[in-house]
Amino acid sequence: MEVFDLNGRKGLIAGIANEHSLAYAAARRLRSAGADLAITYLNDKAKPFVEPLARDLAAPIFLPCDVAVPGQLDAVFDAIRAQWGRLDFLFHAIAFAPKADLQGRLTDCSAEGFAQAMLISCHSLIRMCHLAEPLMDEGGSVITLSYYGAEKVVDHYNVMGPVKAALESSVRYLAHELGGKRIRVNAISAGAVKTRAASGIAHFDDLLDESAKAAPLHRLIEPDDVGRMALALMSEYGAGVTGEVLYVDAGMHIEGMVLR
Ligand code: NAD
């Protein structure tokens, strides 16, 4: 019988805010396949929401990580090196843009807001790959999360559109550079899901309604749709896939002009 078996594999999950987080759905699937997980939380305010989830996941490494605070990401990798000596996979589910820039037109986006959004939502993936590379000496798998607004204009997605476009391009360059070490880098382009991060996007409920109507499967995705794809990609079943943007969006991205 075919099963996903990640027993003995070690992975870092960055981006759990609460039980609705896409990263939590991925973490649950990866843990139930046997992987040991290092879990990070943003700061003291986030810790009480993430700590019980990390406990349920039996995470042996649980550390703060605000990628905008110098030294915190390095400390996470120091702990992984000290405790495990290696890393097999990395799940990056981090995004942020200041509210004024996120909810305003791209035309009016500040330089500071653009830089901060890029640093936290895109360059953090690059830094994680840089720190993971020496620990993935037997190969590895990296996944980040993107959205359709990277490639087509989605009302109210604003500055996150170009930021996710940069993220998807980074995935291809990282996959190219790290492929020789058997490190695979992919993005999952997830459909709209009501999470904490999504609540910062104006008119998000309308986006949910339209997404469900537009999708060939006539439904929204569940966080676990992302969780299951993450499990497949992290396992041997994804061994031939790198540099890819995989859509887990109930098919929404294929639709062009549809007359109703
Ligand atoms: P979420 O709010 O649960 O997760 C976002 C995470 O980003 C939080 O854990 C937060 O702590 C973290 N974060 C923000 N700033 C950070 C920083 N400076 N340092 C470290 N971590 C930081 O929401 P989510 O929807 O699960 O988001 C996860 C990823 O999925 C994001 O990249 C998001 O863009 C992407 N995504 C979400 C949707 C959706 O509709 N929810 C769709 C496609 C892609």
CATH number reported for the structural domain that contains residue 156 in this entry: 3.40.50.720
Best mutation site among 196, 229, 248 for ligand 1 pocket (most ligand atoms within 8 Å of CB): 196
By residue range, what is the domain housing residue 246?
A: 10-254
Q: Percent of the chain, pLDDT > 70? A: 100
Ligand 1 centroid–CA 130 distance in Å is 21
Residue 3 forms part of a structural domain: no
Structure tokens at 21: 């987080």
The residue among 46, 87, 26, 57 whose CA lies nearest residue 226 is 26
DSSP-H helix ranges across the chain:
22-32, 47-56, 72-83, 99-102, 111-118, 124-132, 160-178, 204-214, 223-234
Residue 182 forms part of a structural domain: yes
Which CA distances in Å does 63 have to 40, 162, 192, 193?
5, 30, 28, 26
Prediction pTM value: 0.98
147 in contact with ligand 1, CB cutoff 6 A: yes
Residue 94 forms part of a structural domain: yes
Residues 67-125 have pLDDT tens digits of: 999 999 999 999 999 999 999 999 999 999 999 999 999 999 999 999 999 999 999 99
Catalytic residue (choose from 24, 41, 148, 157):
157
Q: Is 157 a catalytic residue?
A: yes
Residue 4 forms part of a structural domain: no
Residue 102 forms part of a structural domain: yes
Q: Is 147 a catalytic residue?
A: yes
CB 4 within 8 A of CB 232: yes
Number of domains in the chain: 1
Residue 5 forms part of a structural domain: no
Return d(Cα 155, Cα 153) in angstroms, integer: 6
68 in contact with ligand 1, CB cutoff 6 A: yes
Return d(Cα 92, Cα 9) in angstroms, integer: 17
Residue 1 forms part of a structural domain: no
Structure tokens at 231: 């499990």
How many CA atoms, within 13 angstroms, populate the side-chain half-sphere of residue 136? 23
Residue 260 forms part of a structural domain: no
Query: Residue 145: is its pLDDT beyond 90?
Result: yes
Q: Percent of the chain, pLDDT > 90? A: 97
Mean pLDDT score, 45-59:
98
Mean pLDDT score, 39-60:
98
Count of CB atoms situated within 10 Å of the CB of 40: 26
